[in-house]
Amino acid sequence: MLKYLIEGGNKLNGEVKISGSKNASLPILAASILNPNPVTFYNVPDIEDVNTTLKILKILGCKVTRKCDKITISCKKVNSYEIPKELMNKSRSTVILAGAIIGRLNQVTFSNPGGCNIGKRPIDLHLEAFQKMGITVIKGLNEVKCYSLVGVKGAKIILKFPSVGATENIILASVYASGTTYIYNAAMEPEIVDLAKCLNSMGANIKGAGTSKIIIRGVNKLHSCSYTVMPDRIETGTFLCIAMATKSKLHLKNVNANDLLSVILKLQEMGAKIAIKDNEIFINASSEKIKAINIITKPYPGFPTDMQPIFASLLTKASGKSKIEETIFENRFGFCDELRKMNAKIVKNGNSIQITGVRELTPSRVKCLDLRAGAALVLAALSTTGVTEIDNVEHILRGYENLDEKLRKIGANIKLISD
C-alpha cells in the first residue's frame, strides 16, 4: 500500500510541465493493434493505466519499446484475441482494446473491465454497436465473446448517450470495416479527436471527430506513423485548482487551453486571474477569495465529470454555498465522506451536493477511493495547515504522472511512502 504524507499550508510557485493525456493515450495505444507496421507515439505519460495497456499489447504479440515519453509499438502479427482477465480488470480503458482486436482479427474475447468505481458503467452501448456492425456477441457470466465470420461491416449507429468509450470502440472496430460507418450522437471529447487524428495519420479515413456525427470509411491497410498525444486536460485543470486552493502563482506548460474552456470559465467565476498564451497558462490566485459557484457536469463541451471531485474539494474553502450536480456517473460523490473527515461541510441530495465553505479544513487520515477522488484529497491536504495522510494512492498513480515530484518542485511538502 502506498500513501502520501502532505504537510499543507505552503504557497506554491513555479512551472509545471503537463504530461500527455491519459484518456487519449489509452485508445491511441489500442489503435496500434490495428497496424501491422511500427508506430511511434510521443508524450505518453508514465502512469499505471498505460503500463497495464502495454502489458496486454505484449501478451497479444506486439513488440513494445519505451524511452521516456516515446513508445514504439510493432504489431506485425497479433497472436491472441483474448484479453487476460487479470489485466482487463485493472482499468476501464481495457475495454477499448476489444474494438481494436476485433478490427484486426474479426474476433475478441474479454471479461468485465475494471477502473474507477464511480457508477455501474455497463458496456451495453459498445456491444449493441458491435452487433449493428455484423459482429456476433455472446455474453457469458464472466466473459464476452465477439466474432464475425465475414468481417466487420460498416453501419449506421445512433448512440443513446454520447459515451466516450463506445465512440472509441466503434471507431477502432470500423477502421478496416467494409463500407462506411456513421456514428450519430457521438462523444465530442478532445480525446476522440486525438484518436481520429492519430488513426488518420496511419491512413484511416475518419471525418467529423469533435462533432456529434463521425463518419469512418473502411480502408484496406494502415501505414507507419509517428504521433504526439495531446496534453492532459484533467491534469491541467487539477493544477489550476491546486493553485487556487493554495493561493499560489503557477505557470503551466504544454497545455491546450481550448480543451478546457468550461473549467477555466468556472475558475474565473470563482475569482481566479488566468492568462493564456499559446500552449501555456498562467494562474495567479495569491490574493483571491474563492467565490461560491454552481456546477452541472455534462458531456464535452460541458463541464467535465472528471473535474467534479476536484472542484468540490476546492469549493469547501469558498465563501458561501455552492451546488454541484453530477449528471454523468451515478456514484461519483464517495470522496465527500473523506472530505468530511477533514471537517468539510457537504450535504448530499440525490445526484447533487451542497457545499458550505469553511475557513480551514482539518488535517486527518483519509483514503483515495478512485483516481479523481484521490486528486481531490491531495488538493484539500495541500491547502490545510498540518499533516494529512492519504492512503491508497495507487489510484492516483494510475492516472497522474509523478504528481508528488511535480508538486515538490513548486514548493509542496509531499512524500510518497509505502506502508
Indicate if 68 belongs to the active site.
Answer: no
What lies within 8 Å, CB to CB, of 228 at 6+ separation is 20, 41, 42, 43
Binding segment for ligand EPZ (CB under 6 A), chosen from 115-123, 214-222, 250-258, 315-323, is: 115-123
Q: Minimum distance between the CB of residue 119 and ligand EPZ, rounded to whole angstroms? A: 5
For 253-262, b/e burial (b = at least 16 CB within 10 A) is: ebbbbebbeb
The residue (of 4 and 130) whose beta carbon lies closer to ligand EPZ is: 130
Q: Residue 52 and residue 294: Cα distance in Å, rounded?
A: 37
Binding segment for ligand EPZ (CB under 6 A), chosen from 18-26, 60-68, 250-258, 377-385, is: 18-26
Q: Which of 116, 225, 241, 336 is catalytic?
A: 116
Residue of 44, 399, 403, 404 that binds ligand EPZ (CB under 6 A): 399
Q: Which of residues 55-114 bind ligand EPZ (CB under 6 A)?
A: 92-93
Residue of 329, 333, 335, 400 that binds ligand EPZ (CB under 6 A): 329
Given a contact cutoff of 8 angstroms between Cβ atoms, the answer to whether 204 and 184 are in contact is: no
How far apart, in Å, do the first and last CA atoms of the chain sit? Answer: 5
Binding segment for ligand EPZ (CB under 6 A), chosen from 52-60, 65-73, 100-108, 161-169, is: 161-169
What lies within 8 Å, CB to CB, of 363 at 6+ separation is 8, 342, 381, 384, 385, 386, 387, 388
Residue 45 touches ligand EPZ, criterion: CB under 6 A: no
Residue 123 touches ligand EPZ, criterion: CB under 6 A: yes
Residue of 34, 166, 175, 380 that binds ligand EPZ (CB under 6 A): 166
CA-closest candidate to residue 34, choices 83, 92, 102: 102
8-state DSSP, 202:
T
Given a contact cutoff of 8 angstroms between Cβ atoms, the answer to whether 68 and 96 are in contact is: no
Q: Which residues are known to be catalytic?
A: 116
- Which parts of this chain interact with ligand EPZ (CB under 6 A)? 22-23, 26, 92-93, 116, 119-126, 161, 163-166, 187, 305-306, 328-329, 371-372, 399
